[in-house]
A and B are shown apart, each in its own frame.
Chain A
Amino acid sequence: MPESAIEFVHVNYRTADGRTLLSDVNFSVSRGEMLMLLGPSGSGKTTSLKLINLLLTPSEGIVRVDGRPVQDWDVIRLRRHIGYAIQDVGLFPHYTVQQNVALIPKLEKWQPKRTAERVAAVLQMVGLPPTEYSHRYPDQLSGGQRQRVGLARALAADPPILLMDEPFGALDPITRLGLQKEFKQLQQNLDKTVVFVTHDVGEALTLGDRIALMDAGKLCGIFTPHDFLVSEDQFAQPYVNAFQAGLEISRI
């Protein structure tokens, strides 16, 4: 097994109409690491994420998952090797919580008993007692509960890699903080490799093993949370200032 779970080598991405969304992006994510992609909207975070599970194909360069270029993977196998959670709109509104979470195990032709046990287990894991929530529809849940279901669904088939696109973005700060803590715990226990998109510097610092800072389609640098806070980097500075201003306010 290669060292890095995910690797970007000189990756460019242009849209069909010729706009450059990513230019010369290079990074790698080690097994079991949580890498945060931080940046303003339009900086290329989500684009980078979608290149990993082949929702987009790089214009130039190579994206590798487990050492193999993504284009060499069977696309369905690749995607089922990777859990994917996005803001709450991604749940299937016509399926119950149970059906949402069970879908991929079912398509993978797991035995019904094994699927049922796994669904109950992941729901428990994300803090939703299955007896109470299994049969609800997404519109009968709060925003926080929907995020938990999204997370449970991404974990259902136990993929080694998780891609998270602002999964807690639509939540109030209190709920968000709770979920962040639980998620960090979960990720460490389950030893998943995670790439997590956020525009919230606090979230990046709380969750990340490392933070990849993006701006206008370029990767500006990769920092540990500690290095990030003391960084003199011109792109990191505004985030650090905002973060510290936030701390000042919370102290008052």
Chain B
Amino acid sequence: MLQFFVSHKREVFTLTMEHLSLVGISMLLAIAIGVPLGILLTWRPRWKTLVLGTNNVVQTIPSLALFGLLLPLPWLGARAGRLAVTALTLYALLPIVRNTYTGIKDVSAPVKEAALGMGLTRQQLLWHVELPLAANVIVAGIRVATAITVGMATIAAAVGAGGLGEFIFRGLAMVDNHVILAGAIPAATMALLADMALGLVQKKLVRTHH
């Protein structure tokens, strides 16, 4: 096994980097869309069923099928990378939107009311009270989303977007466990490291407000 990594170190490195950029870009997009969307839902509760419902439906589509479904779309289908990032972002959205929404909703009502009663505007309430107190739950959602995305990104190789899935699909075709593990081990390591890093962020956020 070790021998395989040594002899293929360039390819392992390249595919790991591809994987990392797929996950990184998708997560940044999912956070950039998901957190504001979650906040929006706390202001417009009527949209909650629609948004969370749609998100849930997306989650039930098998990943391979979603990649396939997005393939014929004009701009997206043109580049495998775009396609993969879009699909991964869609999957990562649900835990982030849901946790942002519940995190903010669960901030104690008397604390919010005291803040409003003192004369905070809605934006100030969000910034000074709701987001800091919900941060722990929001980061927990991002952790879950990251774990899902690292695993899901291996499927992206099926549409030619590269990443560690290349090894896995190749190994499956060759019926060679070493090749499969060459994709699976770095992917698992990546998931663990990302989770640990986010865990540290979460702990830091909790410590600053006990």
Residues of A in contact with B (beta carbons under 8 Å apart):
50, 53, 55, 76-80, 82-84, 86-87, 89-95, 103-104, 107, 137, 139, 153-154, 163
Is B111's CB under 8 angstroms from A90's CB? yes
Distance of A239 Cα from B133 Cα, bound (Å):
41
Is A92's CB under 8 angstroms from B118's CB? no
Binary per-residue interface labels of chain B (111-133) against chain A in the complex, 1 for a CB within 8 Å, 0 otherwise: 10111111111001000110011
Which residues in window 25-69 of B have CB below 8 A to A?
none
B156 nearest CB across to chain A (Å):
39
Is A55's CB under 8 angstroms from B113's CB? yes
Residues of B within 8 A of A93 (CB): 111, 133, 209-210
Contact of B210 (CB < 8 Å), options: A76, A80, A139: A139
Residues of A within 8 A of B208 (CB): 94
B39 nearest CB across to chain A (Å):
18
Q: Which residue of A lies closest to B128 (CB)?
A: A103
14 A-B residue pairs with CB within 8 Å: A55-B116, A55-B117, A78-B119, A79-B118, A83-B118, A84-B114, A86-B110, A86-B113, A90-B114, A91-B114, A94-B133, A137-B209, A153-B118, A163-B117
Is A80's CB under 8 angstroms from B116's CB? no
Q: A80-B119, A107-B120 are in contact. Are A137 and B113 (CB under 8 A)?
A: no
Residues of A within 8 A of B119 (CB): 76-80, 82, 104, 107
Is B116's CB under 8 angstroms from A79's CB? yes
Is A90's CB under 8 angstroms from B116's CB? no
Is A89's CB under 8 angstroms from B108's CB? yes
Is A92's CB under 8 angstroms from B121's CB? no
Is B129's CB under 8 angstroms from A92's CB? yes
Residues of B within 8 A of A89 (CB): 108, 110-111, 114
Contact of A137 (CB < 8 Å), options: B111, B121, B210: B210
Contact of B117 (CB < 8 Å), options: A53, A107, A137: A53
Q: Which residue of A lies closest to B124 (CB)?
A: A107
A135 nearest CB across to chain B (Å):
13
Residues of A within 8 A of B113 (CB): 55, 86, 90
Residues of B within 8 A of A82 (CB): 119
Is A103's CB under 8 angstroms from B118's CB? yes
A155 nearest CB across to chain B (Å):
12
Which residues in window 84-134 of B have CB below 8 A to A?
108, 110-111, 113-121, 124, 128-129, 132-133
Question: Known pairs A80-B119, A86-B113. 7 more at Cβ < 8 A?
Answer: A79-B118, A86-B110, A89-B114, A90-B110, A92-B129, A95-B209, A137-B209
Q: Which residue of B lies closest to A77 (CB)?
A: B119
Q: Which residue of B lies closest to A108 (CB)?
A: B119
Q: Which residue of B lies closest to A139 (CB)?
A: B210
Which residues in window 174-210 of B have CB below 8 A to A?
208-210
Residues of B within 8 A of A103 (CB): 118, 120, 128
Q: Which residue of B lies closest to A55 (CB)?
A: B117
Residues of B within 8 A of A50 (CB): 117
A21 nearest CB across to chain B (Å):
16
Distance of A104 Cα from B117 Cα, bound (Å):
11
Residues of B within 8 A of A154 (CB): 118
Is A104's CB under 8 angstroms from B108's CB? no
Residues of A within 8 A of B114 (CB): 84, 86, 89-91
A142 nearest CB across to chain B (Å):
16
A136 nearest CB across to chain B (Å):
10
Residues of A within 8 A of B209 (CB): 93-95, 137
